[in-house]
A = this chain, B = another copy of it.
Amino acid sequence: MTSIRPFKRALDLLTRSGLRPTRQRVGLARLLFDSGDRHVTAEQLHAEAMADDLKVSLATIYNTLHQLTDAGLLREVVVDAGRSYFDTNSTLHHHFFHEASGWLADVPGSQIVVEALPQPPAGTRVTRVDVIIRLADAPGEAGTAEGEGGVVGR
């Protein structure tokens, strides 16, 4: 992930997507893609930009996040009404979501198998299958992690 020339990498991602590499976009792309997979909200990214002395308005943050999403570099993850997360991991994968804290983490696509998917209604096609594993604090001790992985469904 963290390549040798982060600046150049961010720049390349942008130009390859047909987005002009402006100061703001390059800066945001670096924040997003130079440190492995992450999940950010617009507000969070804005705060990071400020901390990094990158002057960007929230409006531009939103614009950029959507442009990157349209370009396939980000994926919007909807787990919480009224808050959008953007995920820098655009490969096939799913999510753990801890409702109380808002904690969100990737689960590699290979770790979940969804079988017997029903056919989509006529005239439509499946664009994506999202699996969200919702979590809460375990009651008693730490980890109510029942030995094996569970099976949901039949």
Contact = CB atoms under 8 A, between A and B. Distances in A.
A145 B123 contact: yes
Which of under 10, 10 to 19, 20 to 34, or 35 or more describes the interface residues of A?
35 or more
A153 interface: yes
Given A124-B135, A141-B122, A114 B117 contact: no
Contacts of A36: none
A154 B113 CA distance: 6
B150 A126 contact: yes
Nearest to A135: B124
Interface string A117-154: 11111111111111111111111011111110111111
16 contacts: A76-B81, A78-B79, A98-B124, A112-B116, A113-B152, A114-B115, A114-B151, A115-B115, A118-B149, A120-B135, A124-B143, A124-B144, A126-B133, A127-B134, A127-B136, A132-B132
